[in-house]
Amino acid sequence: MNRSPQVYGKTVDEHTRCAHYATELDIIAIRFACCDRYYPCHLCHAEIADHPAQQWPRAKWDQAAILCGMCWSQLTIDTYRSADVCPDCAAAFNPRCAAHSSYYFEG
């Protein structure tokens, strides 16, 4: 399995689950717009990065910024936001992540 790009933060397993979110469905990492680095969640970014997080502007949702922790495919933000499962490996994504989307994406 390809293990790139690197995921920063307190990951607890090989599927990008972290110390903050580690359910069976917590299998994505987000490339933060501010630093071009993948983190499992906003809390990991806040603990490690030396700058505040920035949201992805709507005009850039066509960029690959979501990493599936099962198959390590990189998805565009638009693709991720319109899917319940990874289009490449069919792994289910956590539907509750939508509650935190404002940390990552402009409304």
Residue by residue, DSSP assigns 13-79 as: STT--BSS--STT--EEEE-TTTS-EESSHHHHHHH-SS---PBPGGGTTSEEEEETTT--EEEHHH
pLDDT at 22: 95
Q: H or E element: which one contains 80? A: helix 77-81
Model confidence at 1: pLDDT above 60 = no
Report the percent of the chain where pLDDT is more than 70: 97
Q: How far apart are CA 82 and CA 91, in angstroms?
A: 14
Residue with tokens 């992805």: 56
Model confidence at 5: pLDDT above 80 = yes
Q: Where are the domains of the chain?
A: 28-103
Q: What is the residue-averaged pLDDT of the chain? A: 94
- Start-to-end Cα distance in the chain: 34
Tokens of 83: 């899917």
pLDDT at 15: 96
Model confidence at 2: pLDDT above 70 = no
Q: What is the pLDDT of residues 44-78, one digit of tens each?
A: 999 999 999 999 999 999 999 999 999 999 999 99
Model confidence at 3: pLDDT above 80 = no
